Amino acid sequence: MEFSDSTLPSRTPAPVSVERVMADLPLFAPAGRSGTGRLADVGFSPLHDHVLECTARYRVAEAEGTGLEVTTRRWPDVDWPPLRDHVRRFGSGHDFLQRRAEGDTDAEPRVHPLGASWSRARIGIDGAPYDCDVLHSPYAWAAVAMVEPHFVVRVAALRAPDAPPALERVRNASEIAPPPRGG
């Protein structure tokens, strides 16, 4: 089965609490950040009994208005560990969304987006080094790593940082704001 054929987590317009998300997924944030992040997108299992994916947004450079999106996805037990192409397809999701946002109606979710390249790097997560795949494209930058059994983390930005940012686990619900009502 191709990864692109698998069902994506369903989204729900119902409000969800940060505590509910944290009970189901480890959330991560840029290490040493100032201020809180905000939940931006939450994906649920088909029965809506647990969270499968969550994206949180963080402002990084106040003057430049740049930010990072950190997404955690629970990977199915039967598919762990995922194949590199599956991890990269997840990593390129931000590129696909940005291409669509900029009017490219022909954009498709691809392992190797047009005009993009992949490299390897290390990313620090809770002080431990993890190998990650790094996407460099005209539309987005993303680093994606397998962490803890059954979780994949993607850090994405519109512009490439000097190096993949270190991440730390969000341990307290007060460190992140719930999604805005109606979104």
Q: What is the pTM for the complete model shown?
A: 0.85
Query: How many helices (H) and strands (E) in the chain?
Result: 3, 11
pLDDT at residue 162 is higher than 90: no
pLDDT at residue 99 is higher than 80: yes
Tens-digit pLDDT profile for residues 42-63: 888 776 777 888 999 998 765 4
Q: Residue 101 and residue 98: Cα distance in Å, rounded? A: 5
Pairing relation of β-strands 66-74 and 51-61? antiparallel
Q: What is the CA radius of gyration of the chain?
A: 16
